[in-house]
Chain A
Amino acid sequence: QKEVEQNSGPLSVPEGAIASLNCTYSDRGSQSFFWYRQYSGKSPELIMSIYSNGDKEDGRFTAQLNKASQYVSLLIRDSQPSDSATYLCALDNNNDMRFGAGTRLTVKP
């Protein structure tokens, strides 16, 4: 089992819909969780970080963390074509960062 699992997609949603991206992890000692967005040919950029159970909202983005079930999710409300990218889930355990393979999201106009 990989340490960080993501559905590779592609996930396709219409413009204006909610996109839901999921991630599960195996290391119960992980304390910090992140979502990065990566456009094709570009470097990853941080969207959200979450450290405690529950929801964290930032604009159109909401991160959800459930440590008991070992999953973290990202919701994108009112999806836009510019949100089309690969979304990487990552977790940190004392500087040892582990990334999922990413989910490719396509938002269709």
Chain B
Amino acid sequence: NAGVTQTPKFQVLKTGQSMTLQCAQDMNHNSMYWYRQDPGMGLRLIYYSASEGTTDKGEVPNGYNVSRLNKREFSLRLESAAPSQTSVYFCASSAYNEQFFGPGTRLTVL
């Protein structure tokens, strides 16, 4: 099993560009999450999906959209990237509240 996979691993965008971060899990988990991690800030929840077809805002949802495409896949979209969105993005999935994280995407917005 691959666990949680994320693509791409690294990305550089210019201000105003859009992109989608992809996440997939093969553990048959119902819940999936998107976080960002900034130095000194810990992990902050952007959006989560408790089950296929549902999504909810987390702590810092502004500037992002998500799609729970099916049970396996949960994507995060930046419609118009801003320098403040420079961060490391982690996707996670969970069963019984215990989360398993993907390897992360390091995003830089110039």
Q: Which of A's residues lie within 8 Å of B, judged by CB? A: 4, 8, 32, 34, 42-46, 49, 88, 90, 92, 95-102
A32 to B95, CA, bound (A): 13
Nearest B residue (CB) for A45: B101
Q: A43-B104, A44-B90, A97-B33 are in contact. Are A32 and B40 (CB under 8 A)?
A: no
How many residues of B are counted as interface, with CB atoms below 8 angstroms from the partner's CB atoms? 23
Residues of B within 8 A of A95 (CB): 31, 48, 50, 56
Query: Which secondary structure dominates where chain A touches chain B?
Result: strand
List B residues 12-61 near A (Cβ within 8 Å). 31, 33, 35, 40-45, 48, 50, 56, 58-59
Contact B97 A92 (CB under 8 A): yes
Contact B97 A101 (CB under 8 A): no
A100 to B45, CA, bound (A): 12
Contact A8 B102 (CB under 8 A): no
Q: A43-B90, A44-B90, A49-B98 are in contact. Are A96 and B41 (CB under 8 A)?
A: no
